[in-house]
Amino acid sequence: MPIYLDHAATTPLRPEALEAMLPFLGATFGNPSSGHAWGRAARTALDEAHERLAAALGGTAREIVITSGGTEANNLALKGAAWVGRARGNRIVTSAVEHHAVGHSLAHLAKFGFEIAEVGVDRTGRVDPDDVAAVVDERTIVVAVMLANNEVGTVEPIREIAERLPRRRSIHLHVDAVSAAPYLDVDVGQLGADTVALGAHKFEGPKGTGALWIRRGTPLLAQAHGGGQERHRRAGTENVAGAVGMAVAYELACAEKPATRARLEGFRTRLAAACTAVEGVEITGHPSARLPGLLSLLCRGADGTAVTVALDLDGIAASTGSACASGDPQASHVLLAMGYGPDEAASALRLSLGRTTTAAEVDEAARVVPRVIGALRDGAVALAADPRTAGLPG
């Protein structure tokens, strides 16, 4: 039976979320902006989705903007905050390990004169709050640091970063919580952020749906223009079914987080022990401040892409890192920022567990994954020593 160990890329849609969505994909198809009965039914469901998401995050319904996913939420927060703050300054501070949704958005802003100051990380992928504070100056208008890294799982000290920002100046703190939301407690009142991005498909909600929490009173320039939807912050006819499914999935994920974390930490420990028994395999990321079900490995002597292909042939889905960078020949910017070399980064393997992962699947993966890594490493060593041993021309 195939084993899915790529939950960091996407998760299966929860049956409860699908069930909640179905009416809005069928008979209850109205436009929430319409005044008739069909429209009112859609509006009621959409408003309830805002309320349920807000309650799970510790915010209010008026602070929630439904988006097309985590990428749009990050784009809206960063570009919206940058342009509205341009009169006060042009400096944006971020970390070297952000998701491309953040990194590429900031690279785009740099084309228009914004200055991007990138803060490095330590060997575990963790940002030092003092390093962030050191590069914040009077021209700084935005600071963007993710809550947990999508490749190595390291959790960042967001609250400590927020506490070090000068209170006398209005600096917008944005947090990409897309990878963290399924497993960590995301309480917007405790984080100290101004905006927080979520993506539904990371916590068994529907793809193509996300949310941005915007602290009440935070100025943000809309990036999509048209109608007055989402309180004029994101134009376009709303995806009611997606919003409803996202709210249901996130409520359930939050209720189950303690049990899910404990179970996944046990599974991850079991799988890590089996994999690191292979010579040359190293766990990357922070040893304790990390997502519970994400195991990031360096398989020295083997190519990470070759390992994932071989695992796929054995019925195990895994990845080398971010799914958003698949097909990119460049080494992981996250691992490079952590101080690993290009050859080491090329050996990366990411095994990510989720709520639906079973003990039997972990046991089978613990048997298969080390065998595959070892075989590919041994083959590479033999080929380097004597190409003829692999049946290839010398």
Q: What is the DSSP string of 207-218?
A: TT-EEEEE-TT-
CB 371 within 8 A of CB 379: no
What is the gyration radius of the CA atoms in the chain, in angstroms? Answer: 22
CB 240 within 8 A of CB 24: yes
- What is the C-alpha separation between 133 and 129, in angstroms, rounded? 6
CB atoms within 10 A of CB 34: 14
CB 69 within 8 A of CB 199: yes
Strands 294-299 and 281-284: antiparallel
Q: CA angle, 234 as apex, 230 and 235 as ends, to 5°? A: 95
Cα–chain center distance at 12: 16
Query: Can you give the length of the chain in residues?
Result: 394
- What is the C-alpha separation between 69 and 324, in angstroms, rounded? 13
Q: Which two tokens stand for residue 272?
A: 């890590």
Cα–chain center distance at 185: 14
- What is the C-alpha separation between 195 and 203, in angstroms, rounded? 19
- What is the C-alpha separation between 370 and 374, in angstroms, rounded? 6
CB atoms within 10 A of CB 118: 15
> In sequence order, which residues have a C-beta less than 8 Å from that of residue 84 and are 6 or more positions away?
219, 220, 221
Helix, strand, coil shares of the chain as percentages rounded to 5?
45, 15, 40
CB 295 within 8 A of CB 275: yes
Q: Is 254 a catalytic residue?
A: no
DSSP, collapsed to helix, strand or coil, labels residue 138 as coil
CA dihedral 92, 336, 4, 364 (to 10 degrees): -150
Give me the catalytic one of 254, 275, 299, 324.
324
Q: Which residues are catalytic?
A: 324
